Amino acid sequence: MSIITIERKVLEKNDELAAQLRNEFKKNKLFVINIVSSPGSGKTSILEKTIEKLKGKINLAVIEGDVQTDLDAKRVEKYNVPVVQIVTNGGCHLDAKLVKDALDSINLSDISFLVIENVGNLVCPAGYDLGEDYKIVVLSTTEGDDKPLKYPKMFINSSILIINKVDLLPYVNCNIKELRDNALMINPDLKVFETSATTGAGIDDWCEWILANIKK
């Protein structure tokens, strides 16, 4: 019982901070997404392709979350966009306080799009609001088609599903229709994109969706 009480208090505090962040983002007319996935899904590769497509069209910044290294931030830094690395030192998710602290290094008035790349984990990040407009869950075909059934909370709390590495479908044990059906059974409102960061498939549609939301 005490564990439940402590967890509730932690989440309540996080939600208070997330609400403050959301107000700050709205005040600065920012479109903010929180990208979540298991490790190795290819979310950083998708982010790189996204930056390539959108650079010059919009000003964006990135907050990178990682358990131990700054490797992903270094990948993003090559595109000459503002990037802040959060190293959680073993923590399995980002929270609103970490994001709030990271914003001290970003001039929000200079950007219209903020990407938060969360720690690779399909469990812990599901319950933490970061003030984002949309939570985006990335699932690769190499993970199989049953992940939505195994980690339903993440798919319930997400608005967008990106099915990545579709170029590998001929070589992996994944039925993409079943994957879609499983995800939509958990959350019928999910918008689904199918992408490959290797071939570029689906990236244009994904970027068009981003641009459409920034213009709202």
Domain range annotation of the chain: 2-214
Task: Report pLDDT digits (tens) over 104-143.
Answer: 999 999 999 999 999 999 999 999 999 999 999 999 999 9
Q: What is the pLDDT of residues 43-59, one digit of tens each?
A: 999 999 999 999 999 99
Q: CA-CA distances (angstroms) from residue 180 to 135, 136, 184, 186?
A: 17, 15, 6, 10
Integer Cα distance of 135 and 119 in angstroms: 13
Collapsed DSSP state (helix, strand, coil) of residue 66:
strand
pTM exceeding the 0.85 threshold for the entire prediction: yes
Cβ-contact 26, 108 below 8 angstroms: no
Residue 168 CA to residue 61 CA, distance in Å, equals 30
| Nearest-10 crossing angle of helices 203-214, 43-54 | 60
- Give CATH superfamily name and number for 2-214: P-loop containing nucleotide triphosphate hydrolases (3.40.50.300)
